[in-house]
Amino acid sequence: MKTPNPARRSERSRQAILGAAFDLVAESGYARLTIEAIAARAGVGKQTIYRWWPSKGAVFVDAFLSRTSDEEGNLALPDTGDLRADLRLVLRAIVDEYNDPGLDTMSRALIVESLNDPAINTEITARIMEPHLEATRERLRGAQRAGQVAEDADLGVAVELLYGPVYHRWILRTAPLTHEYADTVVEFVLGALRVTQAPR
Amino acid sequence: MKTPNPARRSERSRQAILGAAFDLVAESGYARLTIEAIAARAGVGKQTIYRWWPSKGAVFVDAFLSRTSDEEGNLALPDTGDLRADLRLVLRAIVDEYNDPGLDTMSRALIVESLNDPAINTEITARIMEPHLEATRERLRGAQRAGQVAEDADLGVAVELLYGPVYHRWILRTAPLTHEYADTVVEFVLGALRVTQAPR
């Protein structure tokens, strides 16, 4: 196994670069992240990074995904049959993530990058947000089939009703994000989803 | 009225600076805004700006407020007695603002500045967001007194349920912001507010 293997060496460099990008943002914030700093920390040349990524934003999105995908490789929501319990679990976990200083810094960096650069926005939405939203819609479709959610409820909007309030409070820091808060949002959403939409 | 008046001259400079900051962000985005550019556009010295504001972020928050306060000096929500109609009007107006390219650019700049600088975040939340949220809570308190909203509904969370989804969709650009969308959110919120909260 000591034979040099270019593919493995390549993968090792890639992982070192992603790890360096993630750690640098956690330590000093996204605004100070540079390709130079990533290269120095990863022990590779800048040209190695530019061969694989067009910008620091692109490196960072991959770094974020590689770090979080271990836990979230399976995006499916829990489905115990108890919609209230399942949604509470999900929303409490999101609150915990936002209260983790490292993940908070990462996530704010993603939003800033996304607001500054529409291309990064598209990538983040397609690769990070949409899969989560779709997994949530899928859980709600199951609840709809089980008769727990109104048949005509617009699930594309329902998922935003679930995540939007937490997101709003997190970005604006208007009030603390607690488990009790997550539970309150879930109660509201359950109430909303049970109601038949009025005709327009 | 031709007598020199230092207070009036001072106010004229202040208005020129705020107007310049607003226009520069609308034209070139917040990232490119500098105190130098504001001074040049407003026809004042940099030291005049630094006498009144500590940073470009502080100038920009004031510029944003001065431009929007004409229309929004009175933050009270409409109260026709028809909660559905009033909330639709409010949420459709917000959707229209986000769809206005100038206001969209401004608002994204505010969010970026707010994410990068906790001091600006505190100022934006206290001076822009909180008054709006409180005005909305006040409208919902009226509806609560009128028996249209559950007595035990947590109105601090209810306002986030109303604005959070729109905010989420606007920042992440996951889907278009339309009046139909605003109306759907309102229906969900009305459904949520009518429901008595389950005990924890």
Count interface pairs A-B at CB distance under 8 A: 151
Residues contacting B80, CB < 8 A, separation 6+? B86
A65 inside domain: no
Domain boundary among A21, A38, A60: A60
Q: pLDDT digit string (tens) for A97-109?
A: 999 988 888 888 8
Please tell me which residue, B76 or B37, carries the higher pLDDT value: B37
CB B188 within 8 A of CB A192: yes
**The pLDDT of residue B198 is above 60:** no
DSSP H helices in chain B: 6-28, 35-42, 46-52, 56-72, 83-99, 101-116, 118-124, 130-145, 155-172, 179-194
**Residue A68 lies inside a defined structural domain of this protein:** no
Residue B200 falls within a domain, yes or no? no
- Among A34, A60, A86, give the residue marking a domain's end: A60
Whether residue B143 has pLDDT greater than 50: yes
Cross-chain residue pair A171–B171, CB shorter than 8 Å? yes
Q: Could you say which of B111, B154, B195 has the minimum Cβ distance to residue A171?
A: B111
User: Which chain B residues touch A85 with a CB distance below 8 Å?
Assistant: none
Per-residue pLDDT at B196 exceeds 50: no
Residue B199 lies in a domain: no
CATH code of B130's domain: 1.10.357.10
pLDDT at site A42: 97
Residues A176 and A138 in one domain: yes
Contacts of B39 (CB under 8 A, 6+ apart): B17, B45, B46, B48, B49
Looking at residue A114, its pLDDT comes to 84
Residue matched to tokens 């944003």:
B64
Provide the domain count of chain B: 2
Statement to judge: residues B22 and B106 lie in one domain: no
Average pLDDT (A126-134) is: 89
Interface contact flag, B172 A112, Cβ < 8 Å:
no
Residues B121 and B29 in one domain: no
- Cα–Cα distances in Å, from A19 out to A36, A37, A72, B129, B153? 14, 12, 17, 37, 45
- Same domain membership, residue B107 and residue B15: no
Same domain for B86 and B173, yes or no, is yes
Assess whether B140 and B168 both reside in one domain: yes
Q: Are residues B24 and B83 in the same domain?
A: no
> DSSP label at A122?
H
Q: Residue B194's closest chain A neighbor by CA?
A: A191
Same domain, B79 and B39: no
Does residue A188 share a domain with residue A105? yes
Question: Does A19 lie in the same domain as A106?
Answer: no
- Sorted by sequence, the CB contacts under 8 Å of residue A112 that are 6+ apart come out as A30, A31, B112, B115, B116
Say how far apart CA A189 and CA A160 lie, in whole Å.
Answer: 10
What pLDDT is recorded for position B200? 39
Q: Measured between beta carbons, which residues in chain A are less than 8 angstroms from residue B200?
A: 180, 183
* B61 is a domain residue: no
Q: Above 60 in pLDDT, residue B72?
A: no
Statement: residue A17 has pLDDT above 80: yes
Contact B21, B63 (CB under 8 A): yes
Between chains, do A187 and B195 touch, taking CB under 8 Å as contact?
yes
Q: How far does the CA of residue B162 sit from the closest CA of chain A (Å)?
A: 8
Q: Could you tell me if residue B114 is inside a domain?
A: yes
Please, which pLDDT band fits residue A49 given cuts at 50, 70 and 90?
A: very high
> Do A145 and A48 fall into the same domain?
no
Which ipTM score applies to this complex? Answer: 0.81
Mean pLDDT of A109-116: 84
- Give me the domain span that covers residue A147: 74-194
Do residue B92 and residue B171 come from a single domain?
yes
In the predicted model, is pLDDT for residue A125 greater than 50? yes
Task: Search chain B and give the residue with CA nearest A132.
Answer: B174
